[in-house]
Amino acid sequence: MKVYKRQKIQVYVVLSILLVVVMFPVYYAFVMATLSDKDSYSFPPKFLPSFHLIQNMREAWKSAKMGRLMFNSAFIAIVVALAKIVFSILAAFAFTYFGDFKGKYLFFSLILITHMLPLPVRLLPTYDLMKAFKWVNTYYALTVPFFASATGTLLFRQLFLTVPGSLADAARIDGAGPMRFLWHVLLPLSKTNMGALLLIEFNYIWNEYLWPLIITTTPEMRVVQIGIKMLLASEAQAADWNVIMAGTIMAMLPPLVMLLIFQKTFMEGFSMKEEK
Amino acid sequence: MHAQSRFPNKLLPYILLSPSIVVIAVFFIIPTVKSIYQSFFRVSPFGDRRIFVGFDNFVRLFNSPAYVQSLLRTLIFATAVVLIGLSFCMIVAVLLNQRIRGMSVFRTFFIWTYAISPAIAGTIWALMFNPATGPVVYLVKLLSGKSINWMNDGRLALAIVIVAAVWKMLGYNVIFYLAGLQAIPTELLEAASIDGANGIKRFFRVTFPLLSPTTFFLLIMNMLYAFFEVFGLIDIMTKGGPGNATEVLVYKLYKDGFISIDIGFASAQSVVLFVFVTVLTILQFRYTQQKVFYG
């Protein structure tokens, strides 16, 4: 639709004001991460960045063992995201190319039902289960319980449904088995969805807090989100907000980079889904 | 689903499904059933003795002023997060959806809080309102001469937690509203425009009603978020305090289950949350066609 010049300027102005309000906390967090110890608790606060970012990051890195935490978070986020993609592609394929096999609708409901069971609903028994498996404070506990994905299964199922069935017939007549069809025909079509799912699940696991808090007990197994809590606990008395913010910025960069890389894929995968 | 089978294999679909089904059975279904089961028992802290007590845990729950207050607080919190978040994000998305140069840059800036975790959002807002040196505290002092301290003001603490929670969801909400807006045919808006409807009228007569499926979907997702996902934010910012001013249900569950170790009591709380999420999900399936959601 045509937008007139005056309206354009109004939109720019309003959006810019809103943007400043929304972005200010992050800007200030960044400024804080660059301040010296002394400036970090000056009142009135400093609003312009200084030159101590690297130093503060180093301090946070050391005091919270950020290197280890970043590794843990990245490792579990990638493992879970990949597992979810594989598990949900397999499940979606089963639901779309094998007719009405026995128990199909039961299994489909089971997968959907996971949406109704967020962690707090099953918190204590899941923890007990980890104890029984001797998985407390291990990578298993941080990854395996998250491997199923209703979102992913639905996303791929919907995509596979749009693939003409005649393609599969042709493949069968040519003597290609189902797994070859999945590998050579469906997978190449799924790239957008995979990108979207990778972004969603990586962020989800990277940002998870409650489960790692209760299931990890030693500093080596902690994840980055819990590292922030540790930084706050150890630095807050001294009001070393500069160090805390340096750590916070490190913790929020990876998902942000993921978002920027996959933003387009994400929106595409998503709008495709909206059309339904 | 394709009605007819494209591949004649009988066993293969079960093999393909087994990884997901095993994970769901072991980590979702069994623990949930056990949550429900345990809510009918009184369990000793070490879990070695249990006595069947019927609905006693639920009676205790709803007779406990601390729990009822926490429930009410959570409802207030969730309502505020939904109302403020959705109205703000709808406006932002409508503005971002104008076909004007440079909008894609604006879009990127508005959606990126999606990548921020509740815990990090909490940390950043704790800094903003830090009683000693926070910039918002400074601004308030400059404008009104008053010193505000949310560490000893329960209402203020709840308000700030709401602000932080809404802020974290901005990106998510804007992404979905933008997608919803892109599905609205421009001819409709043009027709309304030719009929003489101005921008505000067009918004209320055309855009707002056509966005209602998205709004309903986001309403559910934001409710779920406000109930379940804010744990990290609360734990970082207030630990439920001052007093119990920001102790929402999921935080209380954690405290009763893992700090006081009252297993039957905490399980009953899990069951109440389960009932709540079931109701929301049924609403979602009944009133929307959209069955895929990200979370």
Residue extents of the structural domains in chain B:
67-290
Report the gap between the CA of B122 and the closest CA in chain A (Å). Answer: 10
Kindly determine whether residue A267 and residue B21, on different chains, have CB atoms separated by under 8 Å: no
pLDDT of residue B284: 80
- Please give the pLDDT value at position A100: 87
Query: Which residues from chain A sit within 8 angstroms of residue B235, using beta carbons?
Result: 209, 213, 229
* pLDDT value at residue B295: 36
ipTM score: 0.89
Cα(A100)–Cα(B97) distance, rounded to whole angstroms?
43
* Minimum Cα–Cα distance from B264: chain A residue: A124
Contact B292 A12 (CB under 8 A): no
Confidence of residue B293 (pLDDT cuts 50, 70, 90): very low
Q: What is the pLDDT of residue B292?
A: 43
Q: List CB contacts (< 8 A) between A149 and chain B.
A: 20
CB contact under 8 A, A263 and B108: yes
Query: Residues B219-257, buried b or exposed e (16+ Cβ, 10 A)?
Result: bbbbbbbbbbbbbbbbbbbbebbbebbbbbbbbbbbbbb
Is pLDDT at B238 greater than 50 in this prediction?
A: yes
Structure tokens given for B13: 């679909």
Q: Where is B52: in which H helix or E strand?
A: strand B50-52
- Set of chain A residues whose Cβ sits within 8 Å of the Cβ of B282: none
Dihedral over Cα of B209, B213, B217, B218: its sign = negative
* Angle, alpha carbons B190-B195-B196 (nearest 5°): 100
Residues pairing with B234 in the sheet? none
Residues in B touching A156 (Cβ below 8 Å): none
Per the structure block, which two tokens stand in for B48? 């070695």
| CB A164 within 8 Å of CB A98 | no
Q: Which residues of B touch A193 (CB under 8 A)?
A: none
pLDDT of residue A275: 37
What is each CA distance from B133 to A22, A43, A113, A256, B126, in whole angstroms?
A: 20, 5, 47, 28, 11
**What is the mean predicted confidence (pLDDT) over A10-39?**
91
Which pLDDT score, from 0 to 100, does residue A269 have? 58
Q: Is the pLDDT of residue B189 over 90?
A: no
So what's the pLDDT on residue B163?
96
Q: Is the separation of the CB atoms in B105 and B98 below 8 Å?
A: no
Q: Which of A109, A149, A210 to mutate to test the interface with B (most CBs of B within 10 A)?
A: A210
At residue B4, the pLDDT reads: 60
Does the pLDDT at position B196 exceed 90?
A: no
CA distance B23 to chain A (A): 6
Question: How far apart are the C-alpha atoms of B207 and B198, rounded to whole Å?
Answer: 12
Of B115, B132, B228, the CB nearest to A120: B228
Mean pLDDT of A21-37: 92
pLDDT of residue A242 exceeding 60, the answer is: yes
pLDDT value of residue A273 = 45
Q: Please give the interface size between A and B, counted as residue pairs whose CB atoms are below 8 Å apart.
A: 317
B49 to A26, A265, B46, B248: CA distances (angstroms) = 50, 53, 8, 30
**Which are the contacts of B91, defined by CB distance < 8 A and separation ≥ 6?**
none
Token digits for B138? 């400074």
Average pLDDT, chain B: 88
pLDDT in the model for residue B1:
45
Residues of B in contact with A22 (CB under 8 A): 109-110, 113, 167, 170
CA distance B283 to chain A (A): 12
Residue B215 CB coordination number (10 Å)? 19
Q: Comparing C-alpha atoms, which of A257, A252, A250 is closest to residue A59? A: A250
Task: Classify residue A128 by burial, with Cβ atoms within 10 Å: 0-12, 13-18, 19+.
Answer: middle
- Cβ of A22 within 8 Å of Cβ of B111? The answer is no
Q: What was the pLDDT predicted at A237?
A: 62
Q: What is the pLDDT of residues A179-230, one digit of tens each?
A: 888 898 899 999 888 988 998 899 999 999 999 999 999 989 999 999 999 8
Tell me how far CA of residue A90 lies from CA of A87, A183, A205, A232, B69, in angstroms: 5, 11, 21, 42, 45
Task: Kindly identify which residue of chain B lies nearest to residue A263, measuring between CA atoms.
Answer: B108
B67-290 CATH choice from 1.10.10.2160, 1.10.3720.10, 2.60.120.10, 1.10.150.80: 1.10.3720.10
Is residue A122 within 8 Å of B31, Cβ to Cβ?
A: yes
Indicate whether A27 pLDDT > 60: yes
Cβ <8 Å between B2 and A96: yes
Q: Does the beta-carbon distance from A263 to B98 stay under 8 Å? A: no
B50, B117, B270: best to mutate for the A interface, most A CBs within 10 A? B117
